[in-house]
Amino acid sequence: MQTDMTNRDRSRPVRLEIAVASFDDVKQALRAGVRDLMLRPGLSLFFGLVYAAFGGLLIAGLVVFDQFWIAIAAGIGFPLVAPFLAAGLYEMSRRLGRGEPFTAADIFLVVFRQQRREFGWMSFVVLFVFWIWAYQVRLVLAITLQYQGYQSIEHLIATMFTTVDGAVFLAIGTLVGAVLSTILYCITVIAMPLLLDRDVDFVTAMIASVQTVLKSPVVMLTWGAIVGALTILAAAPCFIGIIFIFPVLGHTTWRLYERVISAST
């Protein structure tokens, strides 16, 4: 029987060594991520399709129920949950890197088992930040636009882009969103792959992730900005681009994790 991550030796204490990341590390990780996608395109794109469908259904549901203001917040903020949904892509890259054969069922089983581990707590942290993001959008909307009646999402968008109050709303919302996204990126960029790979608690994983960013701030924050920009651009045309971008970024994140984190017991 194929040995999966739950059967590996995860009982001994782990000492993490964090390397300084370079732009070459990011470039090599991206190449490896694209290669992983090409090796198993069907399964990789399936995860991208699920993620895109989740985002599309979320926005469509909010629009149907006339929650236009939160639909925009969700459309911009839903990528915050990507690290948790990428567990299957991390596991695929892990096995591809080690030359281990696997089936789709093997990967789905690993993803399912994360609910019993520290991934569950980490997902709570991610969703909590997403909730804060949605709440601050509502608060800023109340302060700047006074909950004006909007007949459609087009009316709301027109108000934001053609009025002074709308410009203030966009400026404040963008600033707060950037801060929240940066915080979440710093505590998850390495934490999610680490939780999948090693037996550490989610607090230790978050600390290691922040230390990784602090050790190579320019490189890691630049990569975070690229991830955010690509995700938002890919989501713009009805989330179609997400199907392709999400698996590339998921595989690349694992490959970058491998290059900057090493563990010894």
- Given a contact cutoff of 8 angstroms between Cβ atoms, the answer to whether 194 and 208 are in contact is yes
Rounded CA gap, 29 and 6, in Å?
25
Alpha helices by DSSP H, listed for 65-163, are 68-77, 82-85, 87-97, 104-113, 119-145, 153-162
Rounded CA gap, 94 and 117, in Å?
18
Name the residue among 105, 103, 110 with its Cα closest to residue 88.
110
Rounded CA gap, 115 and 157, in Å?
38
- Given a contact cutoff of 8 angstroms between Cβ atoms, the answer to whether 192 and 90 are in contact is yes
Lowest mean pLDDT among 3-17, 187-201, 228-242: 3-17
Among the ranges 55-69, 149-163, 167-181, which has the highest mean pLDDT value? 167-181
Residue range 99-114, pLDDT digits in tens: 999 999 999 888 877 7
Instruction: Report pLDDT for 9.
Output: 43
> Buried (b) or exposed (e) across 52-89, using 16+ Cβ within 10 A?
beebbebbeebbeeeebbbbbbbbbbbbbbbbbbbbbb
DSSP lists the bridge partners of residue 15 as: 264
66 in the Ramachandran plot: left (φ > 0), alpha (ψ -120 to 50) or beta? left
Rounded CA gap, 192 and 82, in Å?
10
**Band of residue 123 on the pLDDT scale cut at 50, 70, 90:** confident
Is residue 118 over pLDDT 80?
no
Mean pLDDT for the chain overall: 80
| DSSP string of 171-200, one letter each residue | HHHHHHHHHHHHHHHHHHTTHHHHHHHS--
Angle, helices 164-188 vs 153-162, to 10°: value is 100
Give the amino acid at 252.
T
Q: Look at the pTM and tell me if it is higher than 0.85.
A: no
Q: How many helices and strands, by DSSP H and E, does the chain display? A: 13, 2
**Band of residue 82 on the pLDDT scale cut at 50, 70, 90:** low
Instruction: Report pLDDT for 11.
Output: 45
Is residue 76 over pLDDT 70?
no
Is residue 69 over pLDDT 70?
no
Is residue 126 over pLDDT 60?
yes
Instruction: Report pLDDT for 147.
Output: 57
Q: What is the percent of the chain with per-residue pLDDT over 70, rounded to a whole number?
A: 77
Rounded CA gap, 53 and 238, in Å?
10
